[in-house]
């Protein structure tokens, strides 16, 4: 296993372009299983552990996949789907694999998908996906840890999510595309990745309107065709790098994404005393050089366009050295505070009660040995180590590698001192 050895206290400065978005790439490459003929080309696919897990799932069901991580280009030929089952061994590695349910059901008329695994973010049910496929006309049952969905052709219809579900919305989009009738998804997730998925599907012949809003309308088409599509930049990697500027009093320009996706994150960094400026495709964050000028913040995580739960650990790391008391309320995954124990080992003063964290800013963090509990918590801890005095060791970085391609190289390019070593 590998670890990061991080010498903290260096100011980050420079420009960096983000990779393609993991949370857009996963549904798009799995969505390519919907295309019954020809070879699709998907560009800007980031070389992450989760992408390689998705490739295993796709190959298991019979798709021909080639991927060149050097140029981030993947080709998918799903002409010959031979298997309608996604086994536990593959599903347990990544929750997003549940996105295979829609494509397999549409292609095979029956899908048997093991209930998923993934990050431990408390209870992460898939009941919305299951109910919504039922609303589209699928016959659903559960057997020995598998969800079994059957429908020779889905009907379409009205789907309502009790709360916006990111992958739930994507899964239902797949189901709706070739259904018999129109589908209207109400209270859909509005994340930029949903827009990316809809653009990909529309480029392959689907008729989806309203993606990015809470109401999505899908007019049925008979079949999708092969496509050449480029995935958008990763807003979560961007947010992590922006907070690197905030926590080290540095100046970082991130490019390769639409700054509008980061509005709330920019607003919160402004409230904390950072300077933020944008162009059409980049954001520059300058952190206050005097730590006393890093102000505390109140955050409530919320589905997009609210503050992303995926950047909660990162902003908590920044708030650990702010001059005053910050409050963070987690409303998306209420158990998502696993990083607080590790932050305390670095000297942070964080108290958690239920879904709320109170962070009393300290003068400085100090290096320690800690471990990454999941992808985004791991990224937050890297940030804390960048600010900490002395040397830190971050263990279990395989979690970080699931969502960030060589995060240490990105930070080192900006002036950090992070070494990847065997632990």
Q: Is position 30 an interface residue for ligand EPU (rule: CB under 6 A)?
A: no
Choose, by CB under 6 A, the member of 26, 198, 206, 321 that binds ligand EPU.
26
Choose, by CB under 6 A, the member of 229, 333, 404, 411 that binds ligand EPU.
333
Based on CB atoms, which residue is closest to ligand EPU, 115 or 369? 115
> Catalytic residue at 314?
no
Name the token pair of 210: 């309203």
Q: Is position 96 an interface residue for ligand EPU (rule: CB under 6 A)?
A: yes
How is 140-196 classified by DSSP, letter by letter?
EEEETTEEEEE-SS---EEEE-SS--HHHHHHHHHHHHTSSS-EEEES----HHHHH
Distance between CA atoms of residues 47 and 6, nearest Å:
23
- What is the per-residue binding string for ligand EPU in 164-183, x denoting contact by CB under 6 A? -xxxx---------------
Based on CB atoms, which residue is closest to ligand EPU, 49 or 166? 166
Choose, by CB under 6 A, the member of 163, 180, 225, 419 that binds ligand EPU.
163
Task: Report the b/e string of 74-100 with b at 16+ CB within 10 A.
Answer: bbbbbeebeebbbbeebbbbbbbbbbb
Q: Is position 376 an interface residue for ligand EPU (rule: CB under 6 A)?
A: yes
Q: Which of 310, 233, 257 is nearest to 25 (CA)?
A: 233
Task: Report the b/e string of 175-185 with b at 16+ CB within 10 A.
Answer: bbbbbeeebbb
Only one of the segments 121-129, 138-146, 247-255, 258-266 lies at the binding site for ligand EPU (rule: CB under 6 A); that segment is 121-129
Q: Is position 355 an interface residue for ligand EPU (rule: CB under 6 A)?
A: no
Catalytic position from the list 72, 119, 190, 274: 119
Distance between CA atoms of residues 162 and 138, nearest Å:
19
- In whole angstroms, how close is the CB of 147 to ligand EPU at the nearest point? 11
Only one of the segments 67-75, 124-132, 252-260, 268-276 lies at the binding site for ligand EPU (rule: CB under 6 A); that segment is 124-132
Q: Which of 119, 114, 121, 72 is nearest to 97 (CA)?
A: 114
Residue with structure tokens 């989009």? 173
- In whole angstroms, how close is the CB of 123 to ligand EPU at the nearest point? 6
Size of the site for ligand EPU (CB under 6 A): 24
The DSSP call for residue 276 is: E
What residues act catalytically? 119
Residues lying near ligand EPU in the complex (CB under 6 A) are found at 23, 26, 95-96, 119, 124-129, 163, 165-168, 189, 309-310, 332-333, 375-376, 403
């Amino acid at each position: 296993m590998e670890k990061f050895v991080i010498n903290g206290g260096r100011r980050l400065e420079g420009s960096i372009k983000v990779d393609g978005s993991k949370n857009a790439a996963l549904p798009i490459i799995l969505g390519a299983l919907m295309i019954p003929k020809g070879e699709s080309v998907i560009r800007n696919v980031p070389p992450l552990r989760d992408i390689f897990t998705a490739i295993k799932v796709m190959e298991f069901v019979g798709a021909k996949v080639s991927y060149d991580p050097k140029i981030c280009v993947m080709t998918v030929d799903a002409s010959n789907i031979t298997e309608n089952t996604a086994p536990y061994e593959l599903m347990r590695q990544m929750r997003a694999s549940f996105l295979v349910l829609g494509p397999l059901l549409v292609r095979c008329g029956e899908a048997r998908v093991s209930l998923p695994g993934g990050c431990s973010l408390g209870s992460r049910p898939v009941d919305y996906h299951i109910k919504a496929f039922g609303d589209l006309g699928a016959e659903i049952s559960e057997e020995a840890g598998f969800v079994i969905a059957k429908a020779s052709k889905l009907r379409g219809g009205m789907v309502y999510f009790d709360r916006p579900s990111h992958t739930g919305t994507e899964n239902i989009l797949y189901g709706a595309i070739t259904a018999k009738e129109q589908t209207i998804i109400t209270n859909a997730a509005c994340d930029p990745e949903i827009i990316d998925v809809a653009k990909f599907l529309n480029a392959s012949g689907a008729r989806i309107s309203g993606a990015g809003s809470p109401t999505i309308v899908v007019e049925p088409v008979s079949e999708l065709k092969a496509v050449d599509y480029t995935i958008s930049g990763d807003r979560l990697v961007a947010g992590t790098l922006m907070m690197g500027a905030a926590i080290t009093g540095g100046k970082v320009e991130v490019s390769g994404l639409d700054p509008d996706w980061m509005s709330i994150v920019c607003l919160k960094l402004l409230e904390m005393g950072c300077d933020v400026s944008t162009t059409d495709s980049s954001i520059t964050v300058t952190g206050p050089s005097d730590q006393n000028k890093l102000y505390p913040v109140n955050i409530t995580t919320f589905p997009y366009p609210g503050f992303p739960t995926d950047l909660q650990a990162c902003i908590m790391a920044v708030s650990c050295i702010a001059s005053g008391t910050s409050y963070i309320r987690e409303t998306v995954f209420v158990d998502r505070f696993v990083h607080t124990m590790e932050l305390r080992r670095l000297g942070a003063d964080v108290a958690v009660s239920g879904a709320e964290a109170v962070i009393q800013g300290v003068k400085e963090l100090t290096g320690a040995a800690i471990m990454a509990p999941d992808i985004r918590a791991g990224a937050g801890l890297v940030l804390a180590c960048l600010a900490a005095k002395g040397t830190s060791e971050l263990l279990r970085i395989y979690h970080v590698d699931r969502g960030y391609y060589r995060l240490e190289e990105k930070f080192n390019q900006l002036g950090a001192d992070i070494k990847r070593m065997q632990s």
